[in-house]
Structure 1
Amino acid sequence: MAKYTLIKNAKVVNEGEIMAYDVLIKDQMIEKVDVGLSHETATVIDAEGKFLLPGVIDDQVHFREPGLTHKAEIYTESKAAVAGGITSFMEMPNTVPNTLTQELLQDKYDIASRKSLANYSFFMGASNDNIEEVLKTNKHDVCGVKVFMGSSTGNMLVDDEGTLNNLFSRVDMLIAAHCEDEATIKRNMEIFMERYDGEIPFTAHPLIRSEEACYISSSKAVALAKKNKTKFHVLHISTAKETDLFDNSIPLKDKLITSEACIHHMWFSDDDYLTKGGDIKWNPAVKTAYDRDTVFQAMLDDKIDVIATDHAPHTLEEKANGYSSCPSGGPLVQHALPAMMEHYLNGKISIERIVEKMCHNPAILFEIEKRGYIREGYYADLVLVDTSDKWRVERSNILSKCGWSPFEGQSFRSKISHTFVSGHLAYEAGKFDESTCGERLKFIRK
């Protein structure tokens, strides 16, 4: 027997408009979007005063499973994501072992099918010597191929010119890249190790992983993509200089070269290292206030196409280390949408643009089947947001397994009250229904 849910009186944010609508869900799908809807067997949710958004699609997370589950797991991080209004995620291949074979890629899908509360996809990893495995990847049920053009774990640094040319000329699906020049970083690291006699302060991080390191790598990668007409996505843009590499003169659906900005690069600046230290140590580094503000503006100007998290947890113990031993990355999925809603409430961005950059555009860019919009016949990935429910980020309400957040102490004026994942009410008012797992994302690609 079909299950119906009726969301009444919502302020629906979709496709550049905010409209008062009701939404009827039948099983996994959106059945009807209209005014004055009723249904005799539906469970009714009164959304009066709340915004109804498509579920956020996060195109860059590190959920650490398999191999690094002392930091995070697909179950714990997908739970945090759902509480933060993220209904779909794309996870990176630098787990242990690295996701460099089709068998290891399938292992992650099998884990997610049993444990993920959100919808999921996993990137296939590229190395200097696995091109034939990469070419086996099915572009209709895998989000893309990930290339680390900067240091990573295991065998995932791709620095061989021949390999890069091979990948960019032969892979017929989206390639996403982390772009930092390894030689520049190593040279800077040597300089700062000598300058500080090994006791490097966290304030040096954006000088070691510098603007130059980012631009050398990203400009090289963009040139390679243009040469080969590759569908190429540059992850986590962190510098003002890099924003000039991207075009805003054509629609996203026609772009071959696209880019992403992450929450931390649009919120924090190098001034925050003095108080937050390793908690905001990411790769690429959080840089100057000018870089932060220019990246934000480039996102508004459509040079940068999507907003993501680069959620990458480490334990409190690991993060407590000094600079050289402190790993880069931190948890963000639970707080990304509230952070962007704070920018909305401060007048820096419209809620329609937030939905465009976090919901619609990832669906367009990755060509995801029937997600990212509030449309009849689409999957019911939906989020209700209350902009009058102030709360504070504290250790006691953090859901990521690592148990901390760079946003600790931050008050947000918006709270996610309900999250539907493929029609299933997975989260409501702080409580989870874990009876149904998320779905594997599918992609409509030629």
Structure 2
Amino acid sequence: MSQSEPSTLIKNARIVNEGSIVEGDLRIEGQRIAAIANELSAGVHEDIIDAAGCWLLPGFIDDQVHFREPGLTYKGSIATESRAAVAGGITSFMEMPNVDPATTSIEALESKFDLAAQRSMGNYSFYLGATEDNLDQIKRMNPKRHCGVKVFMGASTGDLLVENPNALEAIFREAPSLIVTHCESGPVMAANRDRILETKDQLTINDHPVLRDTAACYASSEYAVGLAKKHGSQLHVLHITTAKELELFAPGPIENKSITAEACVHHLWFTADDYDRLGNLIKCNPAIKYQSDRDAIIEALKSGRIDIIATDHAPHTLDEKEQPYSNAPAGLPLVQHALLTLLDHVNAGRMSPALVVEKTAHAPAKRYNISERGFIREGYFADLVMVDPGAAHRVTADNIRYKCGWSPYTGHTFTASIKSTWVNGARVFDGNEIIESARSPMAMVFDR
């Protein structure tokens, strides 16, 4: 370590990593984890932090966020939402292409990397959006830099909706990178809409899981999985919401899988019973469904049929959400509270701390082949989050960090609190404030 390189010693931590919880110390030198041991002696001029028995986790790697930049920054931006993310223990994110204009060219994709370098608080990568006629752009992707290509199969608008079978065949055959899909069948949803409106004049929020039902999700997910098997593609199906879809995915460890699946934190938390209370605030696509679906997805996390947990953070203004159901946009802000929701599951006995770390850090790092992140290992980048599992955190209007200013969890008291977050060795959140002077994000590198 050079004399100018900062050093931090975290003492008395309960390190949750690779299936176990070990009490010990951890030293950060510069951007990386320099040492992990039962006990480490403090060096001269070393910053010492007493974890006092708090859990130390590898930072949450969120493989699905919508930060709304460019073009929709009245809802959120890379600057605002990445700061909310690190306050929630998310140290790296992968951002989606449905901005304005949509990210459907390599030039537009690279411009987002430039924005993030200037404004982000966390590490970053970005997806290229597939269209029915941009195969030339998809083939230009750099698999070591660009996290993947996003295909909206029947659940988007404009150029990002890809339904043409020939276009889908070409994407699954030619994509040089991981393909991630939003799977809902447009024809099934259209038939559902017609059936619902036979008995009423207009749709309401309680119709949302009926409109976007199991049949709509399964038909599209099955199609995507079939295409991936046919072409030998690397496929990751996002935000699974139904018990039936789980049969499409193999149980077991993520290693060597070419077809994987993800669950999102709100689908692990809310059910259709919450629509009466929260209305459009929890309107999202795919829809939040039923308790039986939620319980099946939690069990699938344990069996390995679901490989990764993400957020699908998608902020909208309250004015937008307060419109009638058919006009209200889908999506909700989640990054600040995502890890806390999972720690509530741990407290309730539905998950273990090791499972949370596996699904939010280890598995994303493995699936995306992220270089030197996602684990607490000597020599790896020091992307870390310290949580106090016994210090309650109540969500109020005053402590929400999203630009949109609201959360579906307002009024809820989580059982745990985020005490500190480190990104590339720099402490960027101290449990109360974002430390702007510590901003040191990097574009993630993929070993593929």
- TM-score class, shorter-chain normalisation, is over 0.9
The count of aligned residue pairs is: 443
Residue 240 of structure 1: aligned partner: 243
Q: Of the candidates 294, 297, 305, which is equivalent to residue 296 of structure 2?
A: 294
Residue deviations 1:67-125 (CA, integer Å, cap 9, x gap): 10011101110001000000000000011101000110011111100000011110011
Which deviations, in whole Å up to 9, do the C-alpha atoms of 1:269-313 show, x marking residues without a partner?
111101111011110000011011101111111000000000001
2:155 and 2:183 in contact (8 A); partners too? no
1: CA distance between counterparts of 2:447 and 2:195? 48
Q: Name the aligned partner's letter for residue 65 of structure 2.
A: V
Counting only pairs closer than 5 Å after superposition, residues 7-406 of structure 1 correspond to structure 2 as: 7-37=10-40, 38-198=42-202, 200-249=203-252, 251-406=253-408
What amino acid does structure 2 have at the position aligned with 1:269? T
* The one of 434, 441, 445 aligned to 1:442: 445
Distance 1:34 1:127 in 2: 50
1:2 CA drift (Å): 1.0
Cα distance in 2 for residues equivalent to 1:279 and 1:437: 33
Aligned-partner residue type, residue 217 of structure 2:
C
Aligned to 2:426: 424
Which SS does the other structure have where 1:341 is aligned?
helix
**CA shift in 2, pair 1:320/1:171, >3 Å:** same
Q: Distance in 2 between matches of 1:388 and 1:153?
A: 44
For the residue of structure 1 that corresponds to 2:293, the secondary structure is helix
- Determine the C-alpha separation between the residues in 2 that align with 1:149 and 1:334: 28
Structure 1, unaligned stretches of length 5 or more? none
Unmatched segments (≥5 aa) in structure 2: none
Shift of 1:344: 0.3
* TM-score calculated relative to the size of structure 2: 0.98
Residues 86 and 122 in structure 2, CA contact (< 8 A), matched pair in contact too: yes
Task: Tell me the CA shift for residue 396 of structure 1.
Answer: 1.1
| Deviations, residues 226-256 of structure 1 (Å, cap 9, x unaligned) | 111101000000000001100014x312000
- Partner Cα separation in structure 2 for residue 314 and residue 223 of structure 1: 34
Deviation at 1:39, TM superposition (A): 1.7
SS in 2 for 1:8: strand
CA RMSD after TM alignment: 0.9
Q: CA deviation at 1:194?
A: 4.6
Is the Cα–Cα contact under 8 Å of residues 75 and 117 in structure 1 kept in the other structure? yes
In structure 1, what residue type is equivalent to 2:148? G
Take 1:243 and 1:407, find their aligned partners in 2: how far apart are those partners?
Answer: 27
**8 A Cα contact 1:172 1:230, kept in partner:** no
Moved more, 293-302 or 145-154: 145-154
Whole-Å separation in 1 of the counterparts to 2:196 and 2:103: 33
In 2, Cα distance between the equivalents of 1:414 and 1:225?
Answer: 40
Tell me, in whole angstroms, the C-alpha distance in 1 between the residues paired with 2:324 and 2:75: 18
Cα distance in 2 for residues equivalent to 1:189 and 1:327: 17
Deviation at 1:370, TM superposition (A): 0.3
Q: Tell whether the 8 Å contact from 1:367 to 1:444 is kept in structure 2 after alignment.
A: yes
The range that moved more, 186-195 or 159-168, is 186-195
Please give the per-residue CA displacement for 1:357-410, whole angstroms capped at 9, x wherever unaligned: 101000000000000000001000000001121121111111010111111111
2: distance between equivalents of 1:180 and 1:142?
25
Give, in whole Å, the separation in 2 of the partners of 1:267 and 1:390: 18
- CA–CA separation in structure 1 for the residues paired with 2:166 and 2:278: 41
CA distance in 2, matches of 1:384, 1:391: 14
Contact 2:141 2:176 in 1 (8 A): no
State the Cα distance separating 1:186 from its structure 2 match: 1.9
User: Is the 2:424–2:440 contact (alpha carbons within 8 Å) kept by the matching residues of 1?
Assistant: no
SS in 1 for 2:436: coil
SS at match of 1:323: coil
1:434 to partner: Cα distance: 1.3
CA apart distance, 1:21: 1.3
Q: Is the 8 A contact 1:81 1:333 kept in 2?
A: yes
Aligned-pair identity in percent equals: 49
SS in 1 for 2:13: strand
